[in-house]
Amino acid sequence: MGKLLEVNGPLVRARLPQVPTGEQVKVGKIGLVGEVIGREGEEALIQVYEATESVRPGEAVEPLGYPLSVELGPGLLGQIFDGIQRPLDRILEVSGDRISRGIQLQGLDQERVWHFQPNPQLTTGMTVTGGVQLGAVPETPTIEHRILVPPELSGELLELVGEGDYPLAEVIARVRTRDNRLHDLTLSHRWPVRKFRPYRQREYSVAPLITGQRILDTFFPLLKGSKAAVPGPFGAGKTIVQHQIARWSNADIVIYVGCGERGNELVEVLDSFPQLTDPHTGRSLMERTLLVANTSNMPVVAREASLYVGVTLGEYYRDQGYDVVIVADSTSRWAEALREVAGRLGQMPVEEGYPAYLASRLAAFYERAGRVQALGGKVGSVTLIGAVSPPGGDFSEPVTSHTKEIVGTFWALSKELADARHYPAVSWTESFSDDIPVAARWWAEHIDKRWQAERAEAMTLLTQAEELSRIVNLVGPEALSGTQRWVLEGAALIKEGVLQQSALDPVDSFCTPEKQFALLELMLQLYHRGTELLERGVPVQELLGLPILARAKRCKSDYDNTKVEKLRDFAKTIREEFDRLGMEYAEAGKHSE
Ligand SMILES: Nc1ncnc2c1ncn2[C@@H]1O[C@H](COP(=O)(O)OP(=O)(O)OP(=O)(O)O)[C@@H](O)[C@H]1O
């Protein structure tokens, strides 16, 4: 037992000899959750994850003997945890609407029994190592939860229970390590949140995460196992983009970490997620989702822990061979927690009050993304998507600019696009993706070989249009040639017919890769046909007046994902209409000769 010496907001100092940095402690009479973050001689510096009012010097501090860690096992999915893995529904049960402090609750339901099926390939006497699958339980109707030997354990398997129903704490296997120590294994184990879970080797990412959002999948793809950031000024649609990813992406497991965004937004997430259906299975989305949400009564520093809790839970499912997507909202609030702690520790502020280690902490966090071969041999991935909320929408501020250096995909939200009600307001000039070459191989193999070329052509059109719009703003549209005006229309077809996509439109909210490509191809085809006619002397006004242009822009909502063939038929109509127009002009030309 240690003794509290000083309380400084969420940081407290205690006399606590021999307790290592990183260890979890209980602080004060009410037993607040804390973590030792530094030591000076006999004294430990402790970060407390609950409000420390009413805690006084002289009270006890109890070391728990293990680092700040999470409990990993079946029953995680469908849960909503607070930033230190306490289930919110049970917190509310225990304390009512006003969450009291110092509640000790385990992350997982200890009473519930799970139907365990042992791995038939294992026999007693065999040597098992970390990651080997002991068996499995059906966690949800769609996710089989694989029970693995904890990463750092290896030894002789002395016993493995038969098929049956077991609660979490019951011993299901016994292992004797080389030093003759016996280890009882249960359906769950603990893992420290700040330590990445080991794997056998990193693998190249090969497939894009399909989010069903065209601006993301077709224009700025993100591979499964990669890292992305979504920076966005206030109100530019960050939340909707993240919801769309959580809802539609083709990951096996989705983890949403709400660290410190405004309370009402979190309530929105907590209310809306449980009502959503998983489009891939038709079942509740919560069956493959897990939420980690800092409650508003937790101090800012707790945000720091919640991100690590989320990523550790993600790595655990990765080790079972699943593709996991983690959406962190927002890393700016997390960085604010770092700043607050650094300030209280009296560390030298470097950029805008952030400590010098901001960039390295951010990098270390994103480093936990990846596609790996797990210790047990299965391949799984963690894809990290961090929202960033730059104050005033200024992307040069430290968190956004460091994050930009770290991530491979950057989905920059633009206030101007949002103001113009162009949604998703992802800017095509400021966003980037390093994953295009690999994604192109996937698109070529699964959808169409021309994907990369068509994507590049659409981007060129958008860039040309951007420059032409500047001219129009300066000297008016009359200054443009017919071809230039047609370029503007080509870009408008891409913007309105492909990029704009309403999350609220039931037909268009999710777009399959097939339909994404069909739409892109349709718009480019229209543009090419028009260009041909312009070259044959058809005036641009004739083309701009064609009703088929407006129809093409509506195709995204007129044809659902099952009607891609019909969409291609519509493309044929366009060809015919343009051919007819071309013929008419040829005829008219002949007559006038
Ligand atoms: N893809 C979309 N489809 C349709 N509407 C959208 C889309 N994205 C954003 N919107 C509109 O923009 C509004 C603001 O979006 P959202 O709440 O996601 O903004 P935000 O950037 O998260 O805000 P904040 O910065 O306050 O967190 C939504 O209520 C919705 O009307």
pLDDT at 239 over 60: yes
pLDDT the model gives residue 581: 85
Ligand 1 pocket, residue 239 CB under 6 Å = yes
Distance separating alpha carbons of residues 524 and 531, to the nearest angstrom: 10
> Whose alpha carbon is nearest atom 29 of ligand 1?
237
Say what the ipTM of the complex is: 0.96
Distance 242 CA to ligand 1 centre (A): 10
Q: Is the CB of 236 under 6 A from ligand 1?
A: yes
Is pLDDT of 261 > 60?
no
Q: Any known ligand binding at 81?
A: no
Q: pLDDT tens digits, residue range 160-188?
A: 999 999 999 999 999 999 999 999 999 99
Query: What's the average model confidence in pLDDT over 432-446?
Result: 98
- Using an 8 Å Cβ cutoff, are 23 and 35 in contact? yes
Ligand 1 atom closest to Cα of residue 502: 3
Question: 239: annotated binding-site residue?
Answer: yes
pLDDT in tens, 268-303: 777 777 788 777 778 888 889 999 987 666 777 777
Percent share of the chain, pLDDT over 90: 68
Q: Residue 460 phi/psi, 5° resolution?
A: -65, -45
Cβ contacts of 262 within 8 Å, gap of 6 or more: none
pLDDT for the residue numbered 593 = 55
Q: Are 63 and 17 in contact (CB under 8 A)?
A: no
Asked if 40 contacts 346 with a C-beta cutoff of 8 angstroms, the reply is: no
E strands in 85-188 = 113-118, 127-128, 133-138, 144-148, 155-160, 164-167, 173-176, 182-185
- In angstroms, the CA 140 to CA 488 distance is 50
Q: What percentage of the chain carries pLDDT values higher than 70?
A: 96
Q: Is the CB of 504 under 6 A from ligand 1?
A: yes
**Pocket of ligand 1, candidates 211, 213, 215, 239: which has the most ligand atoms within 8 Å of its Cβ, to mutate?**
239
Between the CA of 43 and the centroid of ligand 1 the distance, in Å, is 48
> At residue 266, does pLDDT exceed 80?
no
Domain 201-437 has CATH 3.40.50.2300: no
Averaged pLDDT of the chain: 91
Tell me the average pLDDT across 127-145.
96
- The finding on whether 66 has its CB within 6 A of some atom of ligand 1 is no
510 is in an annotated binding site: no
Instruction: Indicate if ligand 1 lies below 6 Å from the C-beta of 242.
Output: no
- Beta carbon of 81 within 6 Å of any ligand 1 atom: no
Residue 239 CA to ligand 1 center (angstroms) comes to: 6
Is the bond leading into 330 cis (omega within 30 degrees of zero)? yes
Distance 326 CA to ligand 1 centre (A): 20
Q: How far apart are CA 197 and CA 369, in angstroms?
A: 11
Outline where 250-357 has alpha helix (H).
263-272, 302-319, 331-344
Distance, CA 76 to ligand 1 centroid (Å)? 29
CATH-assigned architecture of domain 451-592: Orthogonal Bundle (1.10)
Per DSSP, helices labelled H in 420-546 are 436-446, 451-475, 482-494, 513-535, 540-544
Residue 240 CB–ligand 1 contact under 6 Å: yes
Residue 320 has pLDDT above 80, yes or no: yes
Task: Fill in the DSSP letter of residue 481.
Answer: -
Band of residue 364 on the pLDDT scale cut at 50, 70, 90: very high
**In the prediction, which pLDDT does 98 show?**
63
pLDDT value at position 462? 97
What six digits make up the tokens of 554?
């509506």
With a 6 A CB cut-off, is 509 part of the ligand 1 pocket?
no
Query: Whole-angstrom Cα distance, residue 288 to residue 44?
Result: 40
Is 365 annotated as contributing to ligand binding? Answer: no
Nearest alpha carbon to residue 115 among 158, 150, 147, 76: 147
Strands (E), 400-449: 409-410, 432-433
Ligand 1 atom at shortest distance from the alpha carbon of 243: 18
Q: Which residues pair with 354 in a beta bridge?
A: 351
- For residue 452, list its beta bridge partners: none
Task: List the residue whose alpha carbon is closest to atom 19 of ligand 1.
Answer: 237
Task: Give yes or no for residue 457 having a pLDDT over 80.
Answer: yes
Q: Report the pLDDT averaged over residues 13-39.
A: 91
515-532 confidence digits (pLDDT tens): 999 999 999 999 999 999
- Of ligand 1's listed atoms, the one at least distance from the Cα of 234 is 25
Please check if 432 is assigned to a binding site: no
Atom of ligand 1 nearest to the CA of 424: 1
Q: Determine the pLDDT at residue 592.
A: 60
pLDDT digits (tens, 9 = 90+) for 546-592: 999 999 999 999 999 999 999 999 988 888 888 888 888 888 776 66
User: What's the rounded Cα separation, in Å, for the pair 338 and 398?
Assistant: 13
- The per-residue pLDDT for 345 is 82
The answer, yes or no, to whether any atom of ligand 1 lies below 6 A from the CB of 502, is yes
Number of the ligand 1 atom closest to the C-alpha atom of 213 = 1
Domain ranges of the chain: 113-192, 201-437, 451-592
Task: Please tell me if the CB atom of residue 392 comes closer than 6 angstroms to any atom of ligand 1.
Answer: no
Residues 6+ apart with CB under 8 A from 154: 127, 128, 129, 130, 175, 177, 178
Nearest CA to ligand 1 atom 25: 234
For residue 236, report the distance from its CA to the centre of ligand 1, in Å: 6
Q: How many CB atoms lie within 10 A of CB 339?
A: 20
Q: In the structure encoding, which two tokens stand for residue 144, read together?
A: 């089989």
The pLDDT of residue 562: 93
Q: What value does the mean pLDDT take over residues 402-419?
A: 96
The verdict on the CB of residue 503 being under 6 Å from ligand 1 is: yes
Please tell me whether residue 82 adopts helix, strand or coil conformation.
coil
For ligand 1, mutation pick of 213, 214, 240 (most atoms within 8 Å of CB)? 240
The pair phi, psi for residue 149, each rounded to 5°, is -65, 130
**Does ligand 1 have an atom closer than 6 angstroms to the CB of 20?**
no
pLDDT: which is higher, 138 or 10: 138
State in Å: Cα 244 to ligand 1 middle. 11
pLDDT at 582: 84
Specify the pLDDT at position 132: 97
Query: Which residue in this structure is represented by tokens 């002789």?
Result: 156
Sign of the dihedral through C-alpha 344, 362, 101, 312: negative
Tell me how many degrees the CA angle 221-226-231 measures, rounded to the nearest 5.
Answer: 70
CB 408 within 8 A of CB 433: yes
Residue range 62-75, pLDDT digits in tens? 999 999 899 999 99
131 is in an annotated binding site: no
- Yes or no: domain 113-192 corresponds to CATH 2.40.50.100: yes
Q: Is the separation of the CB atoms in 490 and 543 below 8 Å?
A: no
Residue 212 CA to ligand 1 center (angstroms) comes to 17
CB 116 within 8 A of CB 135: yes
Identify the band that residue 336 occupies on the pLDDT scale cut at 50, 70 and 90: confident
Task: Tell me, in angstroms, the distance from the centre of ligand 1 to residue 237's CA.
Answer: 3
| Cα 158 from Cα 183, distance rounded (Å) | 10
Q: 214 C-alpha vs ligand 1 centroid, how far in Å?
A: 17
Query: Which range (4-13, 319-328, 515-524) has the least confidence?
Result: 4-13
Would you give the DSSP letter of residue 435?
T
- For 226, the token pair is 């990669």
List pLDDT tens digits, range 176-228.
999 999 999 999 999 999 999 999 999 999 999 999 999 999 999 999 999 99
Question: 3-class SS at 338?
Answer: helix
Q: Is the CB of 272 under 6 A from ligand 1?
A: no
